[in-house]
Structure 1
Amino acid sequence: MKGPLAIVGYMGSGKSTVGRIVAEELGWRFIDLDEAVAERAGLSIPEIFEASGEPQFRNLERRELLEALDGPRESVVACGGGVVIDPRNRARLVEVPTVFLWEDTDVLYRRTRGPGRPLRGVNFEDFSRRYAERLPYYLEVAALQIEPSSRPPRRVADEILEWIRGE
């Protein structure tokens, strides 16, 4: 299978951690979409949200997504949790091999309480609602769904690698 490979999932699902392992194993370039947006904007994700709002962030995110997916084929792209909100992004994601890391809401909520997370101050009910709203979109774009559960990131990456290699 040729890339680029996209990894989607809600915040805290392990997209960046698993994506880095997959890219390293394949010798491919790794792109963290949130990091690419922050680098281009010269601001952290929370700073972009605060200074310009979510619509501007989503515009930047879309531009970086298209650039990443239209770039070198041998790339692994860890997408931001909200990338699937935009139907144009979903249309592009279904054109490339896309993996959805599906995780329990309680687990995701615990993982996202740290500093630097845009939804850190969001209560559990709002967090769960956002995830439920995005879930159908993740499923729409995914060619492969994986539930990491309590497995180490390396084991999740191995499952993706087996899929890529057709094993």
Structure 2
Amino acid sequence: MAIVGYMGSGKSTVGRIVAEELGWKLVDLDEAVAKRAGLSISEIFESSGEPHFRNLERRELLNALEGPRESVVACGGGVIIDPRNRARLVEIQTVFLWEDTDVLYRRTRGPDRPLRGVSFEDFSRRYAERLPYYLEVAAFQIEPSGRPPRRVADEILEWIRGE
């Protein structure tokens, strides 16, 4: 399964809880890309640009989804930009964490975020551009709305288990 959403939506945190509960492997896509490149995400963007990062991201997504054991893939916020990624994500259980733009913007002001210098207007525009893609791949949508990650994960687990 995969968890998608915009930067700061809690994909990695919620994904970790879901993976632990299911006994599945967690693949944090941004961490996998950074490890493969030997650079942080910000360093990849700065040194090689977004197209290079997206190529690395696509390869790591395919590796994660073709792995030998079940896994929860916490995707990067822009994974849905590539139509090849979207085509693969619609084939599996993909969850979209739909969060308020103001909340996301506040959460993403850290120094290790690729869009850290982006204005609120640009941040909101990017989210609006990506929203149809998140909705396209989502088999399940959830709005965290300030709830603890554990409660969000529990709702995803109920959906997966058909409860």
Q: How far apart in 2 are the matches of 1:60 and 1:97?
A: 22
**2:13 is aligned with 1:17:** yes
Corresponding residue for residue 141 of structure 2: 145
Q: Shift of the alpha carbon at 1:159?
A: 0.3
Unaligned runs of 5+ in 1: none
State the AA in 2 paired with 1:124.
F
TM alignment of 1:126-145, pairs within 5 A: 126-145=122-141
1:93-112 pair list within 5 angstroms: 93-112=89-108
Q: Which amino acid is the alignment partner of residue 86 of structure 2?
A: R
Instruction: State the TM-score, normalizing by the size of structure 2.
Output: 0.99
CA deviation string 1:24-52 (max 9, x = no partner): 01111000000000000000000000110
The separation in 2 between residues aligned to 1:130 and 1:161, in whole angstroms, is: 29
Matched with 1:164 is: 160
- TM-score by structure 1 length? 0.97
Tell me which amino acid in the other structure corresponds to 2:81: I
Pairwise CA distance, 1:114 = 1.0
SS of the equivalent of 2:118 reads coil
- Tell me the percent identity: 90
Among 120, 124, 145, the alignment partner of 1:124 is 120
Distance, in Å, in 2 between the alignment partners of 1:101 and 1:18 is 9
Letter in 2 for 1:75: S
CA displacement 1:91-131 (0-9 Å, x = unmatched): 00000100000000000000000120000110100000000
Aligned equivalents of 1:72 and 1:9: distance in 2? 25
SS at match of 1:66: helix
2:44 is the alignment partner of 1:48: yes
Q: CA RMSD in A?
A: 0.6
Give the secondary-structure state (helix, strand or coil) at the position aligned to 1:115.
coil
Equivalent pair of 2:25/2:69 in contact (CA under 8 Å):
no
Q: How does 1:34-73 map to 2 (within 5 A)?
A: 34-73=30-69
Q: Choose 78-87 or 66-75, whichever is displaced more.
A: 66-75
Which amino acid in 2 is paired with 1:165? R
Does residue 31 of structure 1 match 2:19? Answer: no
